[in-house]
Structure 1
Amino acid sequence: MAGAVVAQTVSDNSVPATGLDIPANMQIFGKVDPNVRKPTAIVNESVITGTDVDQRVALIVSANELKLSPEDKDRLKLQILRQLIDETLQIQEAKANEITITAPEITQSFDRVARNFKRSPVEMRTYLRSVGSSERSLKRQIEGELAWQRYLRRKVEPGVNVSEEEVQQILKRLEAAKGTEEFHVSEIYLSATPERQQQVIATMRQMIEKIQKGEAPFAYFARSASEASTRSVDGDLGWVRAAQLPDALAAAATTMQVGQIAGPVEVPGGYSILYLVDKRQVLTADPRDARLALKQLTIRFPSGTTQAGATARAAEFAKAIETIQGCGGVAKIAGDIGAEVVDSDAVAVRDLPLPLQEILLKLQVGQATPPFGSAQDGVRALVVCGRDDPRNGDLPRADQIQAQMEQSRVNLRAQTLLRDLRRDAIIDYR
């Protein structure tokens, strides 16, 4: 036939692995333009418009402070379109099962999201418009999440069971693994045939460079570019031991420091970028699990403050901090220098930025950190008012293990349901 394009020949033994009846030497008839992109879709008669996609993209770009190239933005749009299709299918399935999220429920969740953004609902609406998004777009996302959660609680969770025997087996394995090092890691995986290796390596190096420069977070590339099944959870592999990872990734994880990125690392079938979120030892007390009672002092710089003025004010603040002798004197010092004071109880050391973790672990009750911050956000210091050190060797409770296993099974069932919804849907790309 005219216009036929001969595809790359693949080996016979690679075809059966798909479960499909595909000839080893095949020919594609007709032309395919891989650059054609469909920005909108009709999902079982529900329309997803270009505006829907653009508004959702605008919120993600703004909330994550992304700096995207035109190519990256196009890739994000396609990802968002897929998410909107899934969201539409989830809402439709919930309604088919007589599950409806009411307007007051959506508004209540919207107000909670606004508080997470440290804004009032009115300020949140203004913010959304200013970045090119809308209240309607965010509320649609909220409706999808609430509808799917309620559907799973009603239709899936009642059928998920975890036996006492299974829980005891988990507890025994944890006890046997006591002291073993665990890693909380995230991944980005790209497959690579021999002829694509250099291209994939170059692409991954560009990703790493953008992550390190702060142009985009790791989670963005994990969700938009990774070919691993973990893309739906921003690449999060959770807590794993070295023996559970491919040899090359295990070797990387054991030499990395928390917060570091490694890659591209060659693994079977392609390459991975590994991000070490955290590490610990099984059933062994970690000083970073200590919980602190803190007082935070903050001074802010008025708009238009010069660099010289900010430096002088910060130096005055640092000098005052050096005179702190216990939390009882914080209020007076704050009053003298015009600082704000905020109390925070039960703060886990590991939840703080790494540089602060290292400092706080060395401080005694009543001591303060050096000043930290920026000219834009102000300068701060933390005073340690109390410390509850972690206990050593506590196994999780049986009910905690059971809840985790049940939730894992619900999530797996949810993925299967969503896959079935996609398979049965009528989707018309426009």
Structure 2
Amino acid sequence: MQLISGFSRFLRSGWLKPVTPALVAAVFAIAPHQGGTQSLFSPAIRVNQDIVTWYELEQRLQFLNVLGLPGDNEADVRDALIDEKLRKQVMRDAGVQATPEAVQLGIDEFAARGQLSSEQFLKLLGDAGVDPETVRDYVADQLAWRDYISSRYLSQARPTEDEIDRALGQTGGGGLQVLLSEIIIPVNPQTVAQTELLAEEISRLEGQDAFSAAAAQYSAAATRGQGGRLEWLNISNLPPALQPVILGLQTGEITDPITLPNAVALFQMRGLREVATGAPRISKLDYAAYYLPGGRSAETLSRAAKLKEEIDTCDDLYGIAKDQPAEVLDRVEAAPSEVPGDIAVELAKLDRNEASATLTRNNGQTLLFLMLCNRTRDLGEDTSRGDVANALAQQRLQAFAASLVEQLRADAVITQE
């Protein structure tokens, strides 16, 4: 699983379309190609003056299978190889290629993530029928394409100081928003080890469908019914410590498991955008926490749902808690950096006077009914300008790369056997 994780994260770091992997790697032989009477080295696809041989096609299918990626969709693999040939043609004309040293470093990095030497890693693939040159070509294409796109478009992709200000919401004229999916898994002392293993497995998933399926099965958040999908959020609403983590994600990438009080969280990036409306930063959060005995039992969750319908503002909770011990209700005003991580994450999803019943306390025995009372905004800079600038540049580079490949396809002569 370590090996699969390392490759999955590399795939997510590039500009290729992600392919959804299985949780468990399966090595199996692929069926003979449809042109079985032809030579393995005869053309399966012609892309302008270049060809993709049946051997290349079958090697790529087997390579994806060894990595735990679906290998039974030949159409997707054909599309990926066509794009690869188009990229190579452009890079060849520009004289761009990855050096042998860079390719070897890339392979070394993969092997190290799987706790293997490069020799062990290539032997593992070789035993499954994957030629080392298939691996080297794949890595070389990823590295060279990244360098080519950066050299060609980075000057256009770099945001201006005004654009960074807008993304941070510091001018009142714009802001940066993220589209995330979430999985929140409750933890108690009896389930810590099991939950940590499950979270590691989920962090290795590829694709939005796989993550959404895991959210529907394992998440305790209210979004589980929507596959963990959140609406667009201002980056400034997220906890300060989480903002650079989220901004560092590529589209489709999943965070490492994030430890919260009584829970483990994972987030998947689905989108990033600049918006015209202002998104000022938050200097203070005002929230109410009402504690309900019974944890996440059906009875307690039903009580929390009914409570949401009965109250309109945080102040209404004082009437609900009347004649109960003082400790059942907390009203807190604090800077975002001072708010417990799990509470800060939930508050980021709420509008004023909205409530959440996702979190627990007392080792899962108490349900936390959380309500956002108010946000006080200012022009603080908890998220570094460098984080925002890099996120904007990477987003634009990916868009430039996708547009270039689309144009290359439109101009190419492509025939398939």
Relative contact order higher in (CA < 8 Å, ≥ 6 apart): 2
Whose radius of gyration is greater, 1 or 2?
Answer: 1
TM-score computed with the length of structure 2 as normaliser: 0.46
